[in-house]
Amino acid sequence: MLTWIVVIVVAALVVVAIVLFNRLVRARQMAREGWSGIDVQLKRRSDLIPPLVDSVKGYAAHERDLLTKVTGLRGAARAMAADDVAQRGAIEGALSSALGQLIAVAEAYPDLKASGNFLALQQQLSDLENEIQMARRYYNGAVRNLNILIESFPSNLIAGPFGFAPMAYFELDDAAARAAPRVSV
């Protein structure tokens, strides 16, 4: 009878150890999955921001080039001798063409589209930062659950011998890093 009691107690302890070990493994995998989510979002930000910034810069450069062209042609027209009709006509024609392009840009894009591109860039950055924040929350929650299991009794009796160590939270240590990212265009 005593043998059966010992066998049942040992079997119960083994079952409890297996259940606790599996909970620890599940919690560790959830934390790793959470980190993978953060990594994916950070990679997306790394991959998306340069093309977005380049597209905004490209559009701004297009407007800047057009304005520079208009200003240059206007200056050239003013500097021309009044009696050089052919040359002045050519410059004024070019200036008219450039002004037409500028008016077409202004009519087609009343907000000059550059601000629209910038607003789109801001919105995409904001969405991406929100996704990173959600991934960070998921990861920190998974890490919290793992760390509670590792530090609480009786799972700490299993965690130590099997090499489960507390994981670090994904936190921003630098106050400047907590600020929204700034993108210069």
Residue 183 and residue 160: Cα distance in Å, rounded? Answer: 46
**Better pLDDT: 99 or 72:** 72
Contact 164, 152 (CB under 8 A): no
User: Tell me: the pLDDT tens digits for 37-80?
Assistant: 888 887 777 676 677 666 655 555 666 677 677 778 777 777 77
Q: Is the pLDDT of residue 134 over 50?
A: yes
- What pLDDT score was predicted for residue 176? 43
- What pLDDT score was predicted for residue 181? 45
- Give 38's contacts (C-beta < 8 A, 6+ positions apart): 132, 135, 136, 139, 170
* pLDDT above 70: percentage of residues in the chain: 61
Averaged confidence pLDDT in the chain? 77
Using the CB atoms, write b or e for 81-112: b if 16+ within 10 Å: eeeeeeeeeebbebbeebeeebeebeeeeeee
